[in-house]
C-alpha cells in the first residue's frame, strides 16, 4: 500500500494480479480481433539500413522481429537490394530484432521500445564471422523520430497511471507540452468531467481526438463529450503541429490506444479517496464582506478502477476488460441550498449546497489473429457522466439546477490485412456518441421542491424556480468509416517511398429535444428588474416554442494521399494532399404548435434545407534532415479547414428551440402571468426581441475558414533515452465568422433614442460614494420594432488572425525506473 497526498489527502492502493489467474468469459457473442492491429497513426514502424564494416550495402539479410505485443510468434523480412528493411503497422511494445546473414556474426537488438505512432530508425553494421556468433545490444531505444515532421509527445501507461491528476481523458491533454485547457486548472481531480476547450500554443482550435481510430470529436466541438478513463489506455500520442494529410482540422491530433490482452494474464486495481482533513481555503474578510461563507469545500471524493487482460486462445484470441468509477461531492463558491432564514437570496445567511459529479465506465477490447497476415479487433465502451446539480452557481441556487446524465458509447471494429511484403490494407468503422439528459422534474422529486414558473431577476442576475427548459435531451451520433491502403515500393522515383491512400466518411446527427413543460411551470421565464427604485418589478416574459424535436445532419467525405519519401539516407520529405467535402443540412421536419402560445409559435412544416456545401483541396509538406551528431532539423507547412458542424444547424432550424421576449404588464400585481397581460403580436408594441432561427438567415456565400500553419523544429539526443527539442509555429486564420452575425434589417441609424443611466459603481447600488459617471446608450426607433426587423446574416470577416508560438521540451524515456517531460512555451 502506498499513500499519496492530494488536495484533501488521498490514499491509493495498487496491486498487480497474479499471472496465473484464470478468467471465465460468460455470454461472449461478439467476434474478437487482434490487439496488434492498431489503426492509422497509432501504429509504429521500425526501419533502417544494413551494411558491413566497410560501409558496403548488405542485401538479403534476414531480420526477425519478436515481442509480447505481437500475436504472431515473429515477423520476418529480408533487406532489399539497397540494404533497407522495414517492419510496419506495429503495436506499442518492447521489441527484439535479430539480423542474420551467412558469413556474418548474428546481430541482436534487445529492449527496443516503440511508442505509439513512432518511426524508429535502427541502422545496423554487421561484422564478418560465424552465424553462430552473436552481438547483442540492449536498451538505448531511439528518442528522436528522424523521418516524421510532426511536433508530438507520447504518454505511456506508466505515466498515465502514476502522475497525480484527474483520471478522465481531458486531464491528459494538458500533460502535453504547449497544450492547455480553458478555465481553472485541475487539482487532484477537481475538474472531473469538465469539457474544457483545448488550446495548443494558446490558440483554441478544432481538434481530432481518436480512440482506437474512432474520432470522438463531433461537429465543431473543441473537446469531446465521450468521457474516457485514461487508466484503460496503453499509450497516447498528442500532436500539436505538423500533422500529415490524414488530419483535416487545425487543432491538436490525439491517437490513443486501449490496453490489450496477451498470452499472459495481467491486471491492475486501484482505489483512491479524498477527505476534508487537509483542506485549506483563501476565505478572508474581504470575501466574507461580499457574502461568501465558504469557497469550494470537498465533502467526499473517491476513485476506483480495475482491469484484466489475457488470452482466450494462445497467440490467437486475446481479451481486455476494465471498469472504473469516480465521484466527488463538493461545494461551489456561492452555491446555496435555499434562501436562508430571511427568505432572500444573496444576503449571506443561505446554507451551503453541495454538487455531486461522477463518471463511470466499462471498456472491452477483443483481439483476433485470423491468419498470420490478417487481423481484427473490436472495441466496446460504455460510460456515463452524471451531475446531480447541473448549472449550480452563485446565481443559480439548488432549486434552479437540473439532474443530468450523459451516457456515452463507442462500438468499433477494425480489419487489417498484410497483402504482401510491400502493401497493406486497413479499415476502421463504427459508432461514437452520447445522449445528454437534463431534468428539473427529477430534481424536484429528489429534493421535494415545489414546481412553479422559472424566474430571472435582471437586477442581480439571480435565477430561481425550476430551469426554463425542464427537460432537455441531446443526442449526438457519429457513424464513421476510415480506410487506408499503404504501398511500400523498394525503389521508385529517385528514392524510397511509403505511400498511403486513405478515405474517411463521417455521418453526424445532432439535436436538442425540448418537450413541453407541465402547465404549472409553463413554457416561459418571468423577468423582473428594479424600476423606479423598486426591486422585483415584473417587466418581461420570455416565451419558448416548446415542444421541439429538431434534427440537424452533417456528412463529411475526405480523400488523402501521403508519401514519406527518403530522398537520401539523411533527408526525408513528408508530402501530402487532402480533399474534403462537407455537407450540412436540415432534413424535412414538422413542428407542433405551442400549447399555450400558438399565435407566437404556430405549427409549421419545414422542407429539406442545405446550409453549407464546402469542398477544398489542401497541401501538406514536411522536410526532416538528419544531421547525425548535429541533431535533426525539421520544417513543415500545411493548410487546414474548419468544420461547420451539425450542431450549428440549430441556429437555422425553425424546429429548434426559439425564444420571444415581450413586455409584461402584471395587471393584478400577483407576479404571475395570466393571459391578456401581454400583446403577443411578434410585430406589436410589446415585442422586445427574438432569439433563434426565426431571426437568422444563412448566407449562401459563406466561405470555409482557412488555417495556414508553418513550423520548424530542432531535435537533439542529449544522451541515451534523453532528447531536447525547440520549435517555432506560426498560425494564420482567415475568413472567420461568428453566428448568427449582424442584423441587416435594423440599420445603426435606427438607434436614435438616447437613454442615460448612472453607473452604480463596484457595489452595484446607486446613491452612495462609489457611484460612477453617467452612461448614455441608444434604443431603436418604434418603427423598427418587431420580428420583421430581425434578420441576422452570418458573413466572413475581412480580418485575419495570426499567432506565434515558441516551445522548448526535454523528454526522458523510461529507464532506471524513472521518466519525464518538461516544457516551456
Q: Read off the pLDDT of each residue in 514-520 and give the average, rounded to a whole number.
A: 87
Distance, in Å, from the CA atom of 152 to the CA atom of 242, rounded to the nearest integer, reads 9
Q: Taking CA 679 as the corner, what is the angle to CA 675 and CA 682, rounded to the nearest 5 degrees?
A: 125
Higher-confidence position of 739 and 146: 739
Confidence of residue 37 (pLDDT cuts 50, 70, 90): very low
Model confidence at 18: pLDDT above 80: no
Q: Does the structure show a pLDDT above 80 at 577?
A: yes
Nearest to 739 by CA among 611, 651, 612, 609: 651
User: Where is 527: in which H helix or E strand?
Assistant: strand 524-531
Provide the pLDDT for residue 649: 94
Band (pLDDT 50/70/90 cuts) for residue 574 is very high
pLDDT in tens, 753-773: 999 988 888 766 677 888 888
pLDDT at 368: 95
Is the distance from CB of 245 to CB of 578 less than 8 angstroms? Answer: yes
d(CA 531, CA 783): 25
Average pLDDT over residues 405-409: 95
pLDDT digit string (tens) for 415-445? 999 888 788 999 999 999 999 999 999 999 9
Residue 653 is predicted with a pLDDT of 97
- Res 140: pLDDT: 62
pLDDT higher than threshold 90 for residue 142: no
Containing H/E element for 445? helix 440-447
Question: Lowest mean pLDDT: which of 172-176, 216-220, 485-489, 624-628?
Answer: 172-176
Instruction: Tell me what the mean pLDDT of segment 121-136 comes to.
Output: 81
Out of 173-182, 748-757, 781-790, pick the least confident: 173-182
Strands 462-464 and 454-457: antiparallel
The position carrying cell 537520401 is 568
What band does 363 get if pLDDT is binned at 50, 70 and 90?
very high
Q: 3-state class of 35 per DSSP?
A: coil
Q: How far apart are CA 821 and CA 807, in angstroms?
A: 13
Residue 753 and residue 779 in contact, taking contact as beta carbons nearer than 8 Å: yes
Per-residue pLDDT at 27: 28
Residue with cell 429528489: 446
- Summarize pLDDT for 581-609 with one digit per residue, the tens: 999 999 999 999 999 999 999 999 999 99
Instruction: With beta carbons less than 8 A apart as the criterion, state whether 673 and 662 touch.
Output: no
Residue partners of 809: CB distance under 8 A and separation at least 6: 153, 177, 724, 725, 726, 727, 821, 822, 823
Between 734 and 139, name the one with better pLDDT.
734
What's the mean pLDDT in 308-315?
94
Q: What is the mean pLDDT of residues 101-110?
A: 88
List the chain domain ranges. Answer: 40-138, 748-789
Q: CATH says 40-138 is which class?
A: mainly beta
Of the chain, the percentage scoring pLDDT greater than 90 comes to 58
pLDDT score of 137 more than 90? no
pLDDT of residue 183: 76
Residue 9 has pLDDT above 50, yes or no: no
- What's the rounded Cα separation, in Å, for the pair 579 and 618? 7
Predicted structure pTM score: 0.85
Question: Is the peptide bond between 603 and the residue preceding it cis, with omega within 30 degrees of 0?
Answer: no
Considering only residues 541 and 17, tell me which one the structure prediction assigns the higher pLDDT.
Answer: 541
Structure-block grid coordinates of residue 474? 441531446
| pLDDT of amino acid 158 | 81
Q: Which of 432, 506, 537, 418 is nearest to 475 (CA)?
A: 432
Rounded to an integer, the average pLDDT of 309-321 is 95
| pLDDT given for residue 24 in this prediction | 26
How large is the average pLDDT for residues 76-103? 88
Banded pLDDT at 293 (limits 50, 70, 90)? low
- Model confidence at 493, in pLDDT bands (50, 70, 90)? confident
How far apart are the two ends of the chain, measured CA to CA in Å? 37
Q: What is the mean pLDDT of the chain?
A: 87
Least confident stretch, 170-174, 318-322, 705-709: 170-174
Beta strands in 391-453 (DSSP E): 402-420, 423-439
Asked whether the predicted pLDDT for residue 162 surpasses 90, the reply is: no
Structure confidence at residue 23 (pLDDT) = 29
Binned at pLDDT 50, 70 and 90, residue 38 comes out as: very low
Amino acid at each position: 500500500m502506498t499513500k499519496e497526498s492530494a488536495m484533501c489527502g488521498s490514499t491509493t492502493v495498487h496491486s498487480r494480479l497474479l499471472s496465473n489467474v484464470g478468467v471465465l468469459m460468460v455470454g461472449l457473442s461478439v467476434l474478437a480481433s487482434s490487439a496488434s492491429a492498431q489503426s492509422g497513426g497509432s501504429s509504429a514502424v521500425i526501419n533502417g539500413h544494413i551494411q558491413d564494416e566497410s560501409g558496403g550495402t548488405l542485401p538479403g539479410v534476414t531480420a526477425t522481429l519478436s515481442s509480447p505485443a505481437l500475436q504472431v510468434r515473429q515477423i520476418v523480412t529480408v533487406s532489399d537490394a539497397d540494404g533497407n528493411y522495414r517492419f510496419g503497422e506495429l503495436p506499442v511494445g518492447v521489441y527484439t530484432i535479430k539480423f542474420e546473414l551467412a558469413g556474418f556474426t548474428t546481430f541482436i537488438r534487445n529492449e527496443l521500445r516503440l511508442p505509439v505512432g513512432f518511426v524508429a530508425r535502427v541502422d545496423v553494421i554487421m561484422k564478418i564471422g560465424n552465424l553462430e556468433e552473436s552481438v547483442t545490444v540492449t536498451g538505448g531505444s531511439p528518442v528522436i523520430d528522424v523521418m516524421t515532421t510532426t511536433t508530438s509527445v507520447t504518454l505511456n501507461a506508466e505515466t498515465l497511471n502514476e502522475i497525480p491528476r484527474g483520471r478522465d481523458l481531458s486531464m491528459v491533454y494538458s500533460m502535453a507540452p504547449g497544450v492547455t485547457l480553458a478555465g481553472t486548472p485541475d487539482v487532484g481531480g477537481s475538474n472531473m468531467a469538465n469539457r474544457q476547450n483545448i488550446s495548443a500554443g494558446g490558440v483554441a482550435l478544432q481538434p481530432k481526438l481518436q480512440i482506437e481510430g474512432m474520432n470522438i470529436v463531433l461537429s465543431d466541438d473543441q473537446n469531446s463529450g465521450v468521457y474516457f478513463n485514461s487508466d484503460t489506455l496503453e499509450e497516447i500520442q498528442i500532436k500539436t503541429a505538423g500533422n500529415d494529410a490524414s488530419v483535416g482540422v487545425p487543432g491538436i491530433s490525439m491517437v490513443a490506444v486501449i490496453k490489450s490482452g496477451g498470452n499472459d494474464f495481467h491486471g491492475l486495481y486501484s482505489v483512491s479517496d479524498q477527505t476534508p482533513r487537509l483542506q485549506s481555503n483563501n476565505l478572508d474578510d474581504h470575501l466574507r464582506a461580499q457574502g461568501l461563507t465558504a469557497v469550494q469545500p470537498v465533502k467526499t471524493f473517491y476513485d476506483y478502477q480495475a482491469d484484466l487482460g489475457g488470452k482466450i486462445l494462445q497467440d490467437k484470441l486475446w481479451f481486455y476488460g476494465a471498469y472504473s468509477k469516480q465521484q466527488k461531492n463538493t461545494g461551489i463558491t456561492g452555491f446555496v441550498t435555499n434562501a436562508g432564514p430571511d427568505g432572500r437570496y444573496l444576503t449571506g445567511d443561505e446554507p451551503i449546497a453541495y454538487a455531486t459529479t461522477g463518471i463511470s465506465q466499462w471498456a472491452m477490447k477483443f483481439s483476433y489473429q485470423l491468419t498470420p497476415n490478417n487481423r481484427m479487433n473490436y472495441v466496446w465502451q460504455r460510460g456515463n457522466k452524471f451531475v446531480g446539480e447541473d448549472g449550480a452557481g452563485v446565481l443559480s441556487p439548488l432549486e434552479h439546477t437540473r439532474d443530468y446524465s450523459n451516457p456515452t458509447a463507442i462500438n468499433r471494429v477494425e480489419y487489417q490485412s498484410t497483402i504482401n511484403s510491400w502493401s497493406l490494407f486497413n479499415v476502421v468503422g463504427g459508432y461514437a456518441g452520447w445522449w445528454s439528459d437534463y431534468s428539473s422534474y427529477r430534481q424536484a422529486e429528489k429534493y421535494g421542491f415545489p414546481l412553479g414558473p422559472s424566474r430571472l431577476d435582471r437586477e442581480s442576475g439571480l435565477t430561481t424556480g425550476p430551469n426554463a427548459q425542464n427537460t432537455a435531451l441531446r443526442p449526438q451520433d457519429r457513424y464513421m468509416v476510415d480506410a487506408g491502403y499503404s504501398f511500400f515500393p523498394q525503389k521508385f522515383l529517385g528514392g524510397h517511398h511509403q505511400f498511403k491512400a486513405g478515405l474517411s466518411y463521417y455521418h453526424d446527427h445532432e439535436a436538442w429535444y425540448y418537450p413541453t413543460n407541465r402547465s404549472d411551470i409553463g413554457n416561459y421565464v418571468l423577468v423582473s428588474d428594479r424600476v423606479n427604485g423598486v426591486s422585483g418589478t415584473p417587466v418581461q416574459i420570455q416565451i419558448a416554442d416548446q415542444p421541439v424535436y429538431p434534427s440537424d445532419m452533417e456528412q463529411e467525405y475526405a480523400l488523402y494521399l501521403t508519401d514519406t519519401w527518403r530522398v537520401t539516407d539523411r533527408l526525408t520529405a513528408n508530402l501530402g494532399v487532402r480533399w474534403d467535402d462537407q455537407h450540412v443540412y436540415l432534413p424535412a421536419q414538422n413542428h407542433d404548435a405551442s400549447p399555450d402560445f400558438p399565435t407566437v409559435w404556430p405549427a409549421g412544416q419545414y422542407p429539406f434545407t442545405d446550409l453549407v456545401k464546402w469542398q477544398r483541396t489542401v497541401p501538406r509538406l514536411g522536410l526532416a534532415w538528419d544531421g547525425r551528431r548535429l541533431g535533426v532539423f525539421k520544417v513543415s507547412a500545411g493548410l487546414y479547414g474548419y468544420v461547420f458542424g451539425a450542431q450549428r444547424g440549430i441556429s437555422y432550424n425553425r424546429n429548434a428551440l426559439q425564444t420571444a421576449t415581450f413586455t409584461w404588464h402584471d395587471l393584478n400585481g400577483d407576479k404571475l402571468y395570466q393571459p391578456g397581460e401581454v400583446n403577443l403580436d411578434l410585430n406589436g408594441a410589446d415585442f422586445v426581441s427574438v432569439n433563434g432561427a426565426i431571426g437568422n438567415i444563412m448566407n449562401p456565400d459563406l466561405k470555409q475558414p482557412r488555417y495556414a500553419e508553418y513550423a520548424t523544429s530542432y531535435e537533439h539526443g542529449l544522451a541515451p533515452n534523453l532528447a531536447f527539442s525547440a520549435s517555432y509555429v506560426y498560425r494564420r486564420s482567415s475568413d472567420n465568422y461568428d453566428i448568427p452575425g449582424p442584423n441587416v434589417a435594423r440599420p445603426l441609424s435606427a438607434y436614435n433614442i438616447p437613454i442615460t443611466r448612472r453607473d452604480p459603481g463596484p457595489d452595484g447600488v446607486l446613491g452612495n460614494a462609489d457611484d460612477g459617471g453617467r452612461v448614455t446608450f441608444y434604443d431603436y426607433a418604434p418603427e423598427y420594432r418587431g420580428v420583421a426587423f430581425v434578420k441576422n446574416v452570418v458573413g466572413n470577416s475581412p480580418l485575419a488572425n495570426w499567432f506565434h508560438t515558441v516551445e522548448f521540451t526535454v523528454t526522458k524515456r523510461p529507464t532506471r525506473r524513472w521518466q519525464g517531460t518538461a516544457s516551456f512555451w
